[in-house]
Amino acid sequence: MDVISMDVTSIGNWLSAFTGISAAIIGEHTIRRAVVRRLKATGLVNADAYLAHLLESEQEQDCLVELIVVPETWFFRDRQPFYQLKKHISKLIEAGPPDQPLRLLSAPCSSGEEPYSMAMTLLDMGLPSEAFQIDAIDICKHAIKKAREANYTKHSFRGVTELERSSNFMAMASGLVLKPKIRQTVRFQRSNLMTCLAENGNRYEVIFCRNLLIYLEDNAASRLLEAIATLLKPGGLLIVGSAEMAKVPTHLFKAIRQPFVFGFERCQPLPQAQAPVIPSETPRAPKPSRRSLASANPLPLPPISQAEELNQCLLRLQVNPYCDDTYLRMSQLLESSNQKEEALRSLQKCLYLKPRSKEALTQLIRLTRQLGQLEQSQRFEQRLARLKE
């Protein structure tokens, strides 16, 4: 099968319409390789025959999406957003115990490390499991299956302390299995975020939606953020990825000016819109008592300007010049101030330190296109595609 010459434009268009994922961002090379694998699996002879099969088969749609959407996550990823989660929930509780369990959403949730990290954060604060409910949603069937099994290997524990492992996991021959008290706080649903949002009355205090927006078409990202705004209660917390801050509309969300949080609070009032939400209601948990909601003191982080944050990044690099996350954040700050060449150099340093960084590669693809470096952009696309094989 000639991977290079096969025209997958129509399949890419279907992918964008179905999932919101931009074919231009993930690259034709990635789509071609996935289609070739499915051609071999189905016995079909060309892209046109495959497209016809794809449009008729939900099972085939699942198979193709599974090949293209490759999750990358681990427990307590980036840490700072979880400190902000703790601070936000503590503030809510200080105002008085809620009338019903707190609701949180992780979407996309991948293989479960993020929503389980949210649960561990709240339990460590002293909240009982009946005081909150976490919904978690992802389009990938395999990821949801793994999340429900809650059985993890060392790849998921980058940066996790030994105390966190021993407190929350049980050692098994197949890996580390999350303890039942944590698993029961998260409800998983396998669904397409672009189509599953439907009104059912749920409202959330917190939503984590990280590292999805960077892959979406602009219109799809806007629609999703508008839906998220209707899901969040006034003042609710939204956490996005480090490269996604500029995509979040300021008329719907107010940025939290704290380093490495990448967070927003929902503005009020919102424009008139449909109020969507995710899965069906679960039986309401008993109202927690004020005593049961006792929480640990959060770690306060003073608000800072963008220029101050950039200076903080430079100071961190003086202490530790090998921190890929700092270079990644610097690139975003530089690009937002229209210093694209400097942002490009920062991203290249990030990739040098972390050669398998999908976030850095995705940003490099977009930025090199903006700068007219099309050959370089194509090389980054091919490199990203190899990581997803």
DSSP 22-43: -HHHH-HHHHHHHHHHHHHHHT
**Residue 201: both structure tokens together:** 């009355």
Report in angstroms the alpha-carbon separations of 171 from 158, 178, 215, 309, 330. 17, 9, 36, 40, 39
How much is the pLDDT for 269? 67
Task: Report, in angstroms and rounded to the nearest whole number, the Rg of the chain calculated over CA atoms.
Answer: 21
Q: Select from 369, 379, 382, 365 the least CA-distant residue to 33.
A: 382
Burial of 154 (0-12, 13-18, 19+ CB in 10 A): exposed
Report DSSP state, residue 243: T
**Residue 89: both structure tokens together:** 């929930």
**Residue 272: both structure tokens together:** 């008139």
pLDDT band at 2 (very low <50, low <70, confident <90, very high): low
Q: What is the mean pLDDT of residues 232-247?
A: 93
Q: What is the mean pLDDT of residues 207-226?
A: 92
Burial of 175 (0-12, 13-18, 19+ CB in 10 A): middle
Report DSSP state, residue 281: P
pLDDT tens for residues 333-359?
Answer: 888 888 888 888 888 888 877 888 888
pLDDT band at 228 (very low <50, low <70, confident <90, very high): very high
Q: Select from 175, 190, 74 the least CA-distant residue to 142.
A: 190
Report DSSP state, residue 212: S
- Decide the pairing of beta strands 253-255 and 263-266: antiparallel
End-to-end CA distance of the chain: 17
**Residue 350: both structure tokens together:** 């990030």
Alpha carbons 91 and 356: distance in angstroms, whole number: 38
Domain 80-293 has CATH 3.40.50.150: yes
Q: Where are the domains of the chain?
A: 9-68, 80-293, 306-387
Alpha carbons 351 and 50: distance in angstroms, whole number: 35
- Decide the pairing of beta strands 175-178 and 169-172: antiparallel
Q: Select from 194, 235, 272 the least CA-distant residue to 87.
A: 235
Confirm if 262 and 245 have CB atoms less than 8 A apart.
yes
pLDDT band at 298 (very low <50, low <70, confident <90, very high): very low
pLDDT tens for residues 158-207?
Answer: 878 899 999 999 999 988 999 999 999 999 999 888 877 544 356 899 99
Most confidently modeled range among 85-89, 266-270, 299-303, 313-317: 85-89
Whether residue 382 is predicted with pLDDT greater than 90 in this model: the reply is: no
Type of residue at 331: S
User: Which tops the pLDDT comparison, 148 or 319?
Assistant: 148
Could you tell me how many residues make up the chain? 389
Alpha carbons 188 and 181: distance in angstroms, whole number: 15
**Three-class SS of residue 206?**
strand
| Residue recorded with tokens 């009020």 | 268
Type of residue at 156: S
How much is the pLDDT for 336? 84
In CATH terms, the fold of domain 306-387 is 1.25.40
Q: Select from 96, 112, 78, 118 the least CA-distant residue to 237.
A: 118
Give the sign of the dihedral formed by CA 93, CA 96, CA 97, CA 102: negative
Confirm if 269 and 302 have CB atoms less than 8 A apart.
no
